Amino acid sequence: MADDTTTGNDTTGGASTGTTGARKAGAFDIRNFIGMLIGIFGVVLLLASIFDSEADIAKADGVRVNLWAGAGMVLTALVFFAWARLRPVVVPEDTP
């Protein structure tokens, strides 16, 4: 990747604006927070699915709801992380 020698910022990639005073939002991107929360809830549901009783599964017509919901939430979290990684938000630097 190319590096801007004046600011040390990456100037290549799909989200580059061509300005030298821009940087990526990184960990402060809202998509990372949303992905993290959905992922945590998904992992909790996946862990809860291990302890599903036969009565709980029978209540849901034989569908392991915690397993499928947890897997869907983890997959959704991965999509959010990939989206934030592939299309980063470029934040302009403050100029006095």
**Lowest-pLDDT range of 13-17, 55-59, 65-69, 72-76:** 13-17
d(CA 42, CA 73): 5
Q: How confident is the model at residue 20 (pLDDT cuts 50, 70, 90)?
A: low
Question: Which of the residue ranges 27-36, 53-62, 85-94 would you say has the lowest mean pLDDT?
Answer: 85-94
Q: What is the pLDDT of residue 24?
A: 72
Task: Note the pLDDT of residue 90.
Answer: 81
Whole-model pTM: value is 0.68
The rounded distance, in Å, linking the Cα atoms of 51 and 57 is 11
Distance (Å, rounded) from C-alpha 64 to C-alpha 11?
47
